[in-house]
Homo-oligomer: A and B are copies of this chain.
Amino acid sequence: MHLTFVQALELCGTIAFAVSGATAAINKSYDLIGLLSLSFITAIGGGTIRDLLIGATPVAWMTNELSNSAILIAAIIAALFFSYIKKLVRLLSTFDAIGLGMFTITGINKGMAVGLPLPICVALGVITGTFGGLLRDVICGEQPILFTREIYAAASIAGGTLYLLTGHYTGLSGDVAQSISIAVIVAIRLFSLHFNWQLPRLRG
């Protein structure tokens, strides 16, 4: 099997999302079914909601054997070697940021392919990148990290908007514009983690 660079990046993101689902399942003392379900839902939930909203069925993950195998293996490895895996914070954060970037751009591209207005395409990118984690938290009965902590969706919105602007106002090819935008999303996300940036919380 020959893996392109883009596929490798997507795989890194998928694995990080699956491990985050597996971690939540382990923290909740779920069983094997809970482990696998939550890993899959976290990794593919965003893309699934995107596909449902635009009517792209059967949804993408159902025919993505490589991604499904990676999620399965990542979930099981995370459970077997959890005390080791949970120390890889920095690696997993980086993979997770890459996933956020890749999935954002994939979502935007799918939105543009069906002719949706550009702000909706950005929303679709954000949904693709973040709603898997939202589903994970809601199923676990936790307050959504997405709504309460850290620069996460904000990084996706910034990079996604940049992607559309560079595509519209510059002569950059799609590949270059995508690479820049993904790099921006990863950078914002990792800087925000490093410097502990957060959006202000609302007060009643």
Contacts and interface: CB of A to CB of B under 8 A. Distances in A.
Contacts of A171: none
Contact of A201 (B31, B202, B204): B31
Contacts of A200: 31-32
Contacts of A59: 53
Interface of A is mostly: helix
Contacts of A31: 147-149, 198-202
A203 B144 contact: no
Interface stretch (A5-13, A22-30, A95-103): A22-30
B201 A30 contact: yes
Contacts of A152: 33
Interface of A: 25-35, 37-38, 48, 52-55, 57-59, 62-63, 65, 68, 79, 82-83, 86, 114, 116-117, 119-120, 134, 138-139, 141-144, 146-149, 152-154, 198-204
